[in-house]
A and B are shown apart, each in its own frame.
Chain A
């Protein structure tokens, strides 16, 4: 992409190799290059075992490169002294909301990360208040987290990360265990943060409808970047996607089916609204299609 644009997360020649219990090497990433720019939303998709979650964990130094490097805001994740600065800049939200909540009361949970940063109590108080307001959970601040819905739990986890004033949020399958309203809740929250606060988003997802909301999709396969581009560019490669264990969103398949049947639609329709608008524009009640 644009060489001169600032880069928040720079991944260069990244290799990661796990070891099995028997000491056998299992390569998970085999040379990944990727730039994430401030304020953009990048979706990382790929089949099970493609290396998505491994890549995500490199973005805040939960894993360190076997070879290659990851720079976050210029900080090398391999630098021991930079680890907390990296984690303050890039917050992670994981799949299972129950695994991420540690305290008995919502606001204590949100304060947890700040306390680890060693901030003064008044500053923590102010940040927790602001974060709870941002995710719309002020009214539930004294609740026990285990009594919340799945979507609310994920918003508590997001608030805990926000209180650390990060530049980037990495969501690793953060909606996959939620019901439809919980999924909407989390997606609306993070996209609002991006719009209002310029937060950078990295979405690791199996849900192509979520990936379609990103500026750019990176497809991993076998630990390398197999394809990347705008959602319209990526979802146009239906056959390749299917070979990579993926498929376009239903709306993209519906649009393609209509084009094949002779309806003159643009090829880049990804959401129900876009498709409905494009089809409605062709409709002439008095004379068939335009």
Chain B
């Protein structure tokens, strides 16, 4: 659905402060995927996704939505932004209406939709992020907890009925419960509505739990694009990029170094538990062991 071809972006071009934020990035994201984008601070993650909905215009290269160049003259960029919802970092700073309902309904009202449709979309969107429209709709957004404000901001995007949701560090600064609630909601939006999800995060645990595909950026260049397991299979290389792997994967690797035949590509607590139980239950399972016992 989104395709970038040879995308390059230079900040403050033509000044002494010119800095290349993206350097010849080509990629494609199909409908229904859940893609994680990881990379050190300054690697170009936020700059990249701001091209997906046309907020930034490439210095060179092209961005296509359904095979149409989004910067072509005849394209209505507002329609692009309606289809590709982008949640910025700390979106609660952008809430401004007097009530939660008014805030969530702001986008649909701007689309020129009728009052009934705006109300219907607002209620649906609040329900989708797990906030009861009757209880939360009339409240002031500023009286909510951080996690609730974050969910209101996501509801504001959902009310536009986008096809793709891009979330830039959606759980930064939230407690573990709020983190889990938001990530679970995102999974459900994908599973039940087929929404395409792009997640930018520093949490390797979150991408391991949610994403099927990982894109890795390093100083503006795309340096890896593959399944989560493939990308996490080289921890030393990831560490050299300022990244890491989930703690349970670290543990599995340490066990292999200590001689246990544990699968090293585990991503979650459940997978790690199963892999360790499996290794402990089959003493003759590894080839070296059976060779030793026969010798």
- A contact residues vs B (CB 8 Å cutoff): 46-50, 95, 149-151, 173, 176-184, 206, 208-209, 242, 245-247, 249-251, 253-254, 257-258, 261, 263, 272-273, 275-277, 279-280, 282-289
Q: Are B259 and A180 in contact (CB under 8 A)?
A: no
Can you give 20 contacting A-B residue pairs, CB < 8 Å? A50-B175, A151-B41, A179-B243, A180-B243, A180-B244, A181-B40, A181-B243, A206-B176, A206-B179, A247-B177, A250-B246, A254-B276, A263-B276, A263-B277, A272-B250, A272-B251, A272-B254, A276-B254, A279-B260, A288-B280
B273 touches A261 (CB 8 A): yes
Sorted from nearest, which 7 A-B pairs have the closest CB atoms? A276-B254, A181-B242, A245-B177, A280-B258, A180-B244, A272-B251, A47-B175
Give the CA-CA distance A286 to B294 in the complex, in Å.
Answer: 11
How far, in whole Å, are A180 and B292 apart by their CA atoms in the complex?
Answer: 41
Residue of B nearest to A184 (CB): B244
**Interchain CB contact under 8 A, B247 and A249:** yes
Q: Is the CB of A173 within 8 A of B173?
A: yes
| A176-B260 in contact given A48-B146, A285-B292 (Cβ < 8 Å) | no
Query: What's the nearest-Cβ distance from chain B to residue A268, in Å?
Result: 15
Q: Is the CB of B41 within 8 A of A149?
A: yes
Bound-state Cα–Cα, A23 to B257, Å: 61
Q: Which residues of A contact B259 (CB under 8 A)?
A: 280, 283, 285
Bound complex: CA of A213 vs CA of B91, how far in Å? 31
CA distance A273 to B254 in the complex (A): 7
In the bound complex, do residue B247 and residue A251 qualify as a contact, i.e. CB atoms below 8 Å apart? yes
CB of A279 within 8 A of CB of B40, answer no
Contacts of B41 in A (CB 8 A): 149-151, 178-179, 182
User: What distance in Å separates the Cβ of A50 from its nearest Cβ neighbour in chain B?
Assistant: 8
The residues of A that contact B293 with a CB separation of less than 8 Å are 286
B202 at the interface (CB under 8 A from A): yes
Q: Which chain A residue has the least Cβ–Cβ distance from B244?
A: A180
A280/B40 in contact, CB under 8 A = no
Q: Once the chains bind, are B205 and A250 in contact (CB under 8 Å)?
A: yes
Query: Is the CB–CB distance between B283 and A48 below 8 Å?
Result: no
Judge whether A48 and B243 touch: CB under 8 Å. no
* Chain B residues positioned under 8 Å from A273 (CB to CB): 254
Q: Is B172 at the interface (CB under 8 A from chain A)?
A: yes
Interface string of B45-66 (1 = CB under 8 A from A): 0000000000000000000000
The minimal Cβ–Cβ distance linking A203 to chain B, given in whole angstroms, is: 15
Q: Which of B225-280 touch A at CB < 8 Å?
A: 239, 242-244, 246-248, 250-251, 254-255, 257-260, 269-270, 272-273, 276-277, 279-280
A145 to chain B, nearest CB (A): 14
How near does chain B come to A68, taking the closest CB pair, in angstroms?
A: 25
- Given the complex of chains A and B, what is the CA–CA distance between A263 and B179 in angstroms? 30
Is B174 part of the contact surface with A, judged by Cβ < 8 Å?
A: yes
Q: B169-187: which residues lie under 8 A (CB-CB) from chain A?
A: 172-180
Query: CA separation between A247 and B205, bound complex, in Å?
Result: 14
Contact A250 B269 (CB under 8 A): yes
B127 at the interface (CB under 8 A from A): no
Of B202, B204, B248, B280, the contact of A251 (CB 8 Å cutoff): B248
For residue B243, which residues in chain A have a CB less than 8 angstroms away from its CB?
179-181
In the bound complex, how far is the Cα of B175 from the Cα of A274, in angstroms?
25
Give the residue of A178, A180, A257 whose beta carbon is less than 8 angstroms from that of B269. Answer: A257
A285 and B283 contact, CB distance less than 8 A: yes
Complex Cα gap A183–B242 (Å):
10
* Contacts A249-B247, A284-B283, A285-B259 supplied; 13 other A-B pairs, CB < 8 Å: A48-B145, A48-B178, A178-B202, A179-B39, A179-B40, A179-B242, A180-B244, A184-B244, A245-B176, A247-B177, A253-B269, A272-B247, A272-B248
Closest-CB distance, B91 to chain A (whole angstroms): 15
User: Contacts of B40 on A, CB cut-off 8 Å?
Assistant: 149, 179, 181-182
CA of A47 to CA of B277 in the docked complex: distance in angstroms? Answer: 33
What is the CB-to-nearest-CB distance from B179 to chain A, in angstroms, rounded to a whole number?
8
Query: What CA separation (Å) do A149 and B248 show in the bound complex?
Result: 27
Q: Please, how many angstroms separate the alpha-carbon atoms of A286 and B292 in the complex? A: 9
Are B175 and A246 closer than 8 Å at their CB atoms?
Answer: yes
Of chain A, the residue at the smallest CB distance from B277 is: A261
The answer on a CB contact under 8 Å between A95 and B173 is: yes
The verdict on B42 contacting chain A, using a C-beta distance below 8 Å, is yes
- Checking B146, B272, B289 against A285 with a beta-carbon cut-off of 8 angstroms, the contacting residue is B289
* Chain B residues with CB under 8 A of A208: 176
Closest A-chain residue to B260, C-beta based?
Answer: A283
* Residues of A with C-beta under 8 A to B251: 251, 254, 272, 275-276
